[in-house]
Amino acid sequence: MSDRPIATTRSAAGMPTGKLAVWWVVVSEIVIFGGLLASYIMHRLAHSDWGEQAAHTNTWIGAFNTLVLLSSSLSAVLAHKAASEGNGPKAAKLLWLTILGAVTFVTVKGFEWAHEIELGYTITSSTFWSFYYTAAGLHAAHVIAGAIIMGIVAVAAAKNRELHRVELIGIYWHFVDLVWIFLFPLLYIAK
Amino acid sequence: MAESIPATPELAHDEHGHHEQSFASKYLFSTDHKMIAKQYLFTGIAMALIGGFFAYAFRMQLAFPGMDIPFFGVVSPGEYNSLITNHGTIMIFWVAMPIILAAFGNLVIPLMIGCDDMVFPKINRLSYQIFLLSALVLISSFFVEGGGFGGSWVAYPPLSSEPQYNLTPLGSSLWIGAVGLEFVAFLLGGINFITTTMNSRAPGMKMNDIPIVVWMIVIASVLFMASVGPLLAGAIMLLFDQNLGTAFYDPTRGGDPVLWQHLFWFFGHPEVYVVFLPPLGMVADIITTFARKKLFAYRTVLYTVFGTGVLSFTVWAHHQFISGIDPRMANIFTVTTLLISIPIAELMFVYIATLYGGRISLTTPMLWALSFIAEFLIGGVTGIFLGASGADVYFHDTYFVLAHFHYTFFPIAIIGFYMGVTYWFPKMFGKMMSDFWGKVHFWGTIIPFNMIFIPLFVLGTAGQHRRIYDYSHFPELMTPGMQDMRVFATMSLLVMLAFQLVFLINFVNGMIRGPKAEKNPWKANSLEWTTESPPPHGNWPPSEMPTVYRGPYEYSVPGREKDYWPQNEPT
Amino acid sequence: MIESLVPAGSSYAGEIDLLVNMILWIVGFWFVLCEVVFFWLIFRFRKKEGVPGQYISGEEKSQKRWITIPHVLVLVCDIFILVGAIWVWYDIKQDLPPAQAEVRIISQQWAWTFVHEGADGEMGTADDITTINELTVQVDTLYHYKLESLDVIHDFSVPVWRLKQDAIPGRLITGWFEPTLTGSFDIQCAELCGVGHALMGGTVHVKNAADYASWVAENSTMSLASAATPHAGGE
Amino acid sequence: MARPPLDPRTLRGAETTGTHMQSGRNRATRWTTIVCCVVASFALAVVSGAADLEVGKELYEQCAQCHGADGGGRSFYLAPSIAGMDEWYVTSQLENFKAGTRGLHADDKGGLRMYPMARSLTSDYGGTDAEKIEAVSAYIASLPEVFPAPEVTGGDAVKGAALYATCQQCHGAAGEGKQLLNAPRLAGTSDWYLVTELQEYKQGIRGSNPLNGPAVLMRGMSNMLANDQAIRDVVAHIVTLKPATQNGN
């Protein structure tokens, strides 16, 4: 950290560089998920029989996970608020709460998948299940990566350091949440 | 909210350029953008040598089918497919992208906008390391059982997704894995380019004061970022099809092979502009410098490029006219494709108009920049034949396509590389290259280049289709006249490759023994020429960070003694 | 441009050749014009002692004219090309004129299987003639082809007919052609289909009515190596 | 560009293609002289008089993609084991494939893959077509024999041994093959391949071309096996065969 370039102290666009970068990360992620979901939707429209496959997904578990992610987004917002007030330890606590949400989400997902695989719905069962595991898996990987980064941010924030990062991870977390908002109806509700 | 949390500025640059660096931290783990640029450059050159060798091997096979080729041996059909596939992949993803976008982007962005480094130096380093890893993965794929992937660089499934069809079970997975890693590397690099240019310009540098080349690299990065996502998703699906037994692209189990074509070309066409725009920007900076002219209609150039960028997302299916898509769709894509010819034509007009009234000195970089325009014009006009759906019915997948493609990509990757290197060599290494040998190399490259590909236009028009290791099974294509043209093209390639030695010697010699370069050898305006050659760590001493007063193209301003006016010179 | 290198052997080959020639003249004109102006400017404004460069911003309307007028002209030319391209495309790929005969084309790694109507003139009957890598058709007859692939993507291409169509596994693609020139011509696979792609050639024999009839008569009954009978197992 | 008229052109027969290629070769020879001058600077001999096995090994690289570097075969690619096969048999089959007397049947999936591969052993350089076939056959014969792991299940080797009595007239008691009777060695051949071929013989997919005499004969013999079970039984027996003398070792 000792030789931070002068470049990072400038802000010609009127937005802190880190925030700008996170927005660009989000843009590039949107097109990745966009490509995947567009492919899924095109296939889905061409295959009306996928509804039968989708009927075997568990809407209630999906809904529970949606609720978990949404509330974790709320705690991320509160963490940002605490950070902008300069209250690092409080922000850290709220971040840990968010991570708890992520862990819950992944754990529930793990049980859900284990149950589905037990019933014989694996990634090779049909193209619907291939999309189901690929899209949700890619999303889960983002949840896990986000939680790890959030842990790093929280450790620093607890010592009142790098507080601006609380907002950055928050933006990313909202994005991860938003992806799920698209995945949930597409994979669970549309039957 | 934005200003509420300062990014700890008190820690900035207290030790800049003073501490001793070990070899590893200077060359292997450097975060200095100039060093990373050189790493990209040399990796790119190394990959270009591999890609060039592949071209040599398969061109020899085409001219003398079955011959025991010196340094290679007999080319089997599988090896031929692998050679052409990896020649294409390497030249686009491991030569054009790292050299044109990453090496020059890293080198010129901080220097030209007047700051000391990229905003995320460590991410920059990580980007190079991922890139290097991807190159190693790709190279390793040539040595696994079954050999390197041979499904062409477009990798259409089911050929690419099913090992029993492509016969390269490991090679194809390593190939798609390497391509995916490479995309991640350039996403990270692209974020750096964009944010650095947006936020860290020198005080006083307005949007209209940014050199065109920086604009172009940033727009190219945005295009890349916005187009690569679907293909990354597609690559994951392809990898799963290859290794987990999913059926995304397998029509017998509910998938669709054409899906990949859409995902690939949705990226593939903007990708052309991703690598095309940076050299186009270099041309703007080089011809203005050596013609001592202001760029003709700076803002028109920008608007045109924005237009091209947006349009480039709407043309992808012109690669798929005869691939079984709904024929009505072809009409839409013919319209958009012909539309995109308009901004490109306008850009060419702007550059030609810039020459009017200039004071043109034909230095080596200027020769390269001018040849870019002359050669790219051929690539551009031949594209019309392919974009017009009715004519594409005949030309699709012939050597006409191949020749057209090389008339766009040779200017992009090879001419772009040489003009950038010869122009910024003093800034990179603090030495000068020989202008005489530079010109020898120029003529020795540009003439054989045309002699390679003009025969291929004729061959394509005569119906010669692509990716064939030996034409003897097609009597119409084995007439003596056609074989003579193939031999002629191969001979020209050998001559062109031989002349690249001139460049390599000139390059290395210039680096070691060239005369010391002054600050501003070309008498150019942009900011990189206001610091030492090569620039110190941090580019300028902290007290002398430049401030910008005008645009970069104020040459031959009436009433001034000197015919150039550096951007940082107070009025 | 094409017809000097490859004979035009189908009813629509002439249309494509005409379109290509039109594009050639239009873009050829622009190309020559640009290059001539380009090289002339380089020569005219080469560095001379005592002659300074001019200061032209290109932002004024009177200056911008030099690029906007050619730009509009290019647009006009594009419209001509566009109309021609879509016209030809519609004829070849979108429109499906009524058929006089039908042929099935099955592609696989690395061979073409052609199923011809036998003497009864109907597809799917016992006297269908199946051949490998050899297609036989009658001149001046409008054929519908049904193209399919058993494994990877192939492309059925007959340069003399200016016909090219990808074969996509899982899809049955219908199109048409009408040969107008008798003789034997190359069939090429124009989409990379694996190691044997270069060897996936074939020949199309275009015969006049009498020759075609005798070919049908000869092959409907005989069991050749390249024309196996459909039910060979039952002896 | 000078271009001989395409039309009328006779059927693509051996002679026509030959003369067609000949003119290309003469020109190419002239060009070779020129290229040799350029390539001479590389200080490497263009065509070396290397031993047949060396040539065969180089040519075999192409076969190795499906049949494996050791010639052990891959059922996945429809490629049987070929290591240590008799040279005369490899040569004869390559020639059959090349001439189209084997493999050219709409339902012979493996044969249609092999047909173009055999035809790829032609080109303007590196010896005549016959020499190339000879070289690659010699190399395949020289490979140490591989006994692939059985892949076919459900066969009864005991019943198969009885059925094999008919086969051993020609193919030998130990499956060693007899060149005099055009009977190839069976020991060491992939079992799934034997099953496929026997089925294809029975259905006339293989052995229906009158120009391929031994295959026509074998087609008749295959009808001695009543059904798929009999085929599996006899193959289960053949898998157990290990002749005392092995080729190529």
Among C188, C189, C200, C204, pick the best mutation site for testing chain B contact (most B Cβ within 10 A).
Answer: C188
* B 88-147 residues with CB < 8 A to A: 110, 115-121
What pLDDT does D76 receive? 87
Domain span at residue C55?
2-94
CA distance A176 to A174: 5
Residues of C in contact with D7 (CB under 8 A): 7, 181-185
CA dist., res. B263 & res. B260, Å (int): 5
Query: If one looks up domain A12-189 in CATH, what number appears?
Result: 1.20.120.80
Six-digit token string for D159: 């019943």
DSSP B80-99: HHHHHHHHHHIIIIIIIIII
CA dist list (Å): B54 to B70, B83, B87, B148: 12, 6, 6, 12
- B552 in any annotated domain: no
Q: Is the pLDDT of residue D215 over 70?
A: yes
Contact A116, A136 (CB under 8 A): no
Domain identity same for D160 and D102: no
pLDDT at position B3, please? Answer: 37
Residue reference for tokens 């894509």: B333
The token pair at C213 is 């009839």
pLDDT tens for each residue of C58-74: 888 888 888 889 989 99
- Contact across the interface for B196 and A16, Cβ inside 8 Å: no
Q: Taking CB atoms and an 8 Å limit, are D106 and C205 in contact across chains?
A: no
Residues C84, C13, single domain; the answer is: yes
Structural contact between residues C109 and D103, judged by C-beta atoms closer than 8 angstroms: no
- Does one domain contain both D139 and D156? no
The number of folded domains in chain D is: 2
Regarding whether C141 and C72 lie in a shared domain, the answer is: no
Partners of chain C (3+ Cβ pairs below 8 A): B, D
How confident is the model over A115-149, as pLDDT tens digits? Answer: 999 998 988 888 899 999 999 999 999 999 999 99
Helix (H) or strand (E) holding B130: helix B121-140
Q: What six digits make up the tokens of D49? A: 């008089």
Q: Please report which confidence band the pLDDT of residue D23 belongs to, taking 50, 70 and 90 as the band edges.
A: very low
Contacting B with CB below 8 Å, chain D residues are 1-4, 6, 9, 12, 17, 20-21, 23-24, 26-28, 31-32, 34-35, 38-39, 42, 44, 46-48, 58-59, 61-62, 65-66, 69, 76-78, 116, 119-120, 122-126
Same domain, D114 and D217: no
Q: Are residues C164 and C61 in the same domain?
A: no
Q: What is the DSSP string of B228-282?
A: HHHHHHHHHHHHHHHHT---TT-GGGT--HHHHHHHHHHHHHHHHHHHHHHHHHH
User: Total domain count for chain B?
Assistant: 1
Does residue D26 surpass a pLDDT of 80? no
Domains identified in chain C, total number: 2
**Residue A163 in this model has a pLDDT that exceeds 60:** yes
CB A105 within 8 A of CB A65: yes
Tell me which of C94, C111, C142 is where a domain ends.
Answer: C94
How do the domains of chain A map onto residue ranges?
A: 12-189
**Segment D96-107, tens digit of pLDDT:** 998 888 988 888
- Residue C133: the pLDDT is 92
**Candidates B11, B195, B228; nearest CB to A17:** B195
Coil vs helix vs strand at D218: helix
Q: Are residues D127 and D170 in the same domain?
A: no
Q: If you ran DSSP here, which 8-state letter would residue B360 be given?
A: B
Residue B2 forms part of a structural domain = no
CA distance B96 to B231: 18
**Touch C-A: 3+ C-beta pairs under 8 A:** no
Check whether residue C216 and residue C112 sit in a common domain: yes
- What order do you get walking across the sheet with C134-138 strand by strand? C134-138, C202-207, C183-189, C154-158, C163-167
What pairing do the DSSP bridges indicate for beta strands C129-132 and C111-116? antiparallel
Q: Is C174 on the interface with D (CB under 8 A)?
A: no
Q: Domain limits at D179? A: 150-249
Where is the domain boundary, D104, D130, D146? Answer: D146
Helix (H) or strand (E) holding C71: helix C61-89
Count each helix (H run) and each strand (E run) in chain A, helices first.
6, 0
Among the candidates C41, C67, C94, a domain finishes at C94
Asked if residue D207 and residue D122 are part of one domain, the reply reads no
Q: Across residues C12-40, what is the average pLDDT? A: 94
B568 touches B547 (CB < 8 A): yes
C198/D104 Cβ within 8 A? no
Q: Which residues contact B187 (CB under 8 A, 6 or more apart)?
A: A28, B224, B225, B228
Across the interface, whether the CB atoms of D44 and B494 are under 8 A apart is answered: no
Please judge whether B74 and D21 are an interchain contact, meaning their C-beta atoms are less than 8 angstroms apart. Answer: no
Residue D117 phi, psi (nearest 5) = -65, -40
Q: Which chain B residues are within 8 Å of A162, Cβ to Cβ?
A: 8
Q: pLDDT tens for residues A40-66?
A: 998 888 888 888 888 888 889 999 999
**Both D105 and D166 in a single domain?**
no
Give the contacts of C79 (CB within 8 A, at least 6 positions apart): none
CB atoms within 10 A of CB B140: 14
CATH number at residue D114: 1.10.760.10
Beta-carbon contacts of residue B21 (< 8 Å; ≥ 6 apart): B30
Q: Using CA atoms, how far apart are residues B230 and B236, in angstroms rounded to an integer?
A: 10
* Joined tokens for residue B115: 């700051």
**Minimal Cα–Cα distance from C46 to chain B, Å?**
5
- The answer, yes or no, to whether residue D37 has pLDDT greater than 50, is no
Chain B nearest CA to C102, separation (Å): 19
Report yes or no on C184 lying in a domain: yes
Exposed / middle / buried, residue B1 (Cβ in 10 Å: 0-12, 13-18, 19+): exposed
pLDDT of amino acid A133: 93
Q: Are D43 and D134 members of one domain?
A: yes
What is the structure's pLDDT at D27? 56
**Neighbours of D (≥3 Cβ pairs closer than 8 A)?**
B, C
Q: Which of D92, D121, D146 is where one domain is finished?
A: D146
- As given in the structure block, the two tokens for residue B494 are 């050998």
In a domain, D22, yes or no: no
Given a contact cutoff of 8 angstroms between Cβ atoms, the answer to whether C194 and C173 are in contact is: no
Q: What angle, 0 to 180 degrees and rounded to 10, lies between the N-to-C axes of helices B435-461 and B399-409? A: 160
Above 50 in pLDDT, residue D214?
yes
User: Is D183 domain-assigned?
Assistant: yes
Residues of chain C found within 8 Å of residue D6, distances taken between Cβ atoms: 7, 160, 183, 185
Please report the pLDDT score of residue D30 as a whole number.
56
DSSP conformation letters of B2-44: TTSS---GGGBTSSTTTS---HIIIIIS---HHHHHHHHHHHH
Question: Quick one: D214 and D123 in the same domain?
Answer: no
Q: Closest-CA residue in chain B for D121?
A: B66
Within-domain flag for B102: yes
Q: Which of B125-129, B214-218, C220-224, D121-125 has the weakest average pLDDT?
A: C220-224
CA distance A63 to A59: 6
User: What is the rounded average pLDDT of the residues D75-98?
Assistant: 91
Query: What gap in Å lies between CA B203 and CA B209, rounded to an integer?
Result: 11
Distance CA C220, CA C235 (A): 19
- DSSP string for residues in C85-105: HHHHHIIIII--PPPSEEEEE
Q: For residues D247 and C150, which has the higher predicted lDDT (pLDDT)?
A: C150
Closest chain B CA to residue C12: B390
Closest partner residue to B164 among D24, D27, D76, by Cβ? D76
Interchain contact, A6 vs B116, CB within 8 Å: yes
Distance from CA of D2 to the nearest CA of C (A): 9
CA of B532 vs chain A CAs: smallest distance (Å): 18
> What pTM, to 2 d.p., does this model score?
0.90
- Is D15 part of a structural domain of the chain? no
Mutate to test the interface with D, among C4, C115, C133, C219 (most CBs of D within 10 A): C133
Exposed, middle or buried, B497 (CB in 10 Å: 0-12/13-18/19+)? middle
Smallest CA–CA distance, residue C225 to chain B, in Å, is 20
**Any A CB within 8 A of B547 CB:** no
Q: Are B437 and B124 in contact (CB under 8 A)?
A: no
Residues D136, D80 share a domain: yes
Same domain, D201 and D228: yes
Tell whether C108 and C13 lie within a shared domain: no
Average pLDDT, chain D: 78
Q: Which of D116, D202, D212 sits opposite C200 (nearest CB)?
A: D116
**Beta pairing partners, C29:** none
Q: Do B334 and C89 touch (CB under 8 A)?
A: yes
Give the three-state DSSP class for A39: helix
Peptide bond connecting D8 to the previous residue in cis, omega within 30 degrees of 0: yes
Return the structure tokens found at D36. Answer: 């040799």
Q: What is the pLDDT along chain B (571 residues), one digit of tens a residue?
A: 333 343 444 334 444 444 556 777 777 778 899 999 999 999 999 999 999 999 999 999 999 988 889 999 889 899 999 999 999 999 999 999 999 999 999 999 999 999 999 999 999 999 999 999 999 999 999 999 888 999 999 999 999 998 889 999 899 999 999 999 999 999 999 999 999 999 999 999 999 999 999 999 999 999 999 999 999 999 999 999 999 989 899 988 888 899 999 999 999 999 999 999 999 999 999 999 999 999 999 999 999 999 999 999 999 999 999 888 888 889 999 999 999 999 999 999 999 999 999 999 999 999 999 999 999 999 999 999 999 999 999 999 999 999 999 999 999 999 999 999 999 999 999 999 999 999 999 999 999 999 999 999 999 999 999 999 999 889 999 889 999 999 999 999 999 999 999 999 999 999 999 999 999 999 999 999 999 989 998 899 988 899 999 999 999 999 888 899 999 988 8
Question: Are residues D176 and D141 part of one domain?
Answer: no
Unique residue bearing structure tokens 């292997």: B28
Does this complex have an ipTM over 0.90? Answer: no
Q: Looking at the structure, do residues D154 and D133 belong to the same domain, yes or no? A: no
Query: Is residue D19 predicted with pLDDT exceeding 70?
Result: no
Shortest alpha-carbon distance between residue C57 and chain D (Å): 48
Integer CA distances (angstroms), B195 to B486, C191, D225, in order: 48, 42, 76
Contact of A177 with chain B, judged by CB distance below 8 Å, is answered with: no
pLDDT recorded at residue D103: 87
- D152-187 residue pLDDT tens: 888 888 999 999 988 888 998 888 888 888 999 998
E strand spans, chain C: 101-108, 111-116, 129-132, 134-138, 143-149, 154-158, 163-167, 173-177, 183-189, 202-207
Whether the pLDDT of residue C148 is over 90: the answer is yes
> Cβ contacts (< 8 Å) between A183 and chain B: which residues?
none
Q: Which of B110, B191, B226 sits opposite A7 (nearest CB)?
A: B110
- Closest-CA residue of chain C to D199: C233
Integer CA distances (angstroms), B315 to B30, B320, B338, B387, in order: 40, 10, 9, 9
Q: Which of D130, D146, D162 is the last residue of a domain?
A: D146
**Which of C94, C127, C161 is a domain's end point?**
C94
Which among D12, D23, D59 has the least Cβ separation from residue B74?
A: D59
Residue C121 and residue C55 in one domain: no
State the pLDDT at residue B85. Answer: 95
Whole domain around residue B182: which residue ranges? 29-544
What is the token pair recorded at C73?
A: 């002209």
